[in-house]
Structure 1
């Protein structure tokens, strides 16, 4: 029995077929990895915006419920914000800007104060992602309402 005659010439893959398959996988990886990183940053951005808005809304509601003024502190240097001792960090690479009433601020920390009547000291918080996408969160001084306006990189 001759082994050469029983061999199926179509069995297995040629070197060219393997190289084409590897090239296709490499191309898919080159496209999907940056898209995954952009998706992850987008999730971080949306969560940070949601956390800031929730914290502001919670402070307003607690001030109404307890009858005491409550402060939400924003520290652009440490990249944190929070209500009282519950300070939350913002994702790395993000920028935080705060514009609030000077009389309630403390040593480089922007404060938005909510009063028991439902109003606030007012102010703006600007949160910008590393790609330049951002949001301006505004707190109305008269009614204490929270609104947001998005912007994109120039």
Structure 2
């Protein structure tokens, strides 16, 4: 003989909790995740921007290190100072838009590619970096 429920005739399934989540549980979980993202996203964006700027700084340092090869190719000594045209400076050291580099003393590069040491300030939109361009190969180091 088959057992039946007095309230629901023909319902012979045992009582057990239903599988899955309620709408309220899902809404609470989404609200918590949204709050966590709102707290984490701004710092994540700053972190990505700082990585990008760091990569651009290293790119500029590589360009400075490549100056001797460019000067040797042209077979003419170059002196970078306040009287040097912006085009010539940009040809030797291309800087991203909004960046500036100020040399403490003129940077002299002989036709052989040898550099004379000087210090410089590289100004980015977010920071100022001191660097030294070392003799004889124009190897830049951050101070």
Instruction: Using structure 1 for the length normalisation, give the TM-score.
Output: 0.58
**Correspondence 1:126 to 2:122:** yes
Q: Deviations over 1:107-143 (max 9, x none)?
A: xxxxx4422240247340323453x4x5322223x53
Deviations 1:49-89 (A, max 9, x none): 11211111111222245432246799xxxxxx7325x8442
- Equivalence map 1:1-154=2 (5 Å): 10-70=18-78, 82-84=90-92, 87-90=94-97, 96-101=100-105, 112-117=107-112, 118-120=114-116, 122-128=118-124, 130=126, 132=127, 134-140=128-134, 142-143=135-136, 144-149=138-143
Distance in 2 separating the partners of 1:47 and 1:72: 24
Is the Cα contact below 8 Å between 1:67 and 1:116 reproduced in 2? yes
Unaligned runs of 5+ in 2: 1-7, 83-88
Q: Count residues in correspondence.
A: 127
Cα RMSD (Å): 3.8
How far apart, in 1, do the equivalents of 2:47 and 2:81 lie? Answer: 29
TM-score (norm 2): 0.62
Q: Is the 8 A contact 2:119 2:133 kept in 1?
A: yes
Whole-Å separation in 2 of the counterparts to 1:97 and 1:124? 7
Point out the structure with the larger strand share.
1
Closer/same/farther in 2, CA of residues 88 and 33 from structure 1, 3 Å limit:
same
- Structure 1: give runs of 5+ residues left out of the alignment: 75-80, 105-111, 150-154
Rate the CA distance shift 1:87–1:49 in 2: closer, same or farther, 3 A: closer
Cα deviation for residue 21 of structure 1 reads: 0.7
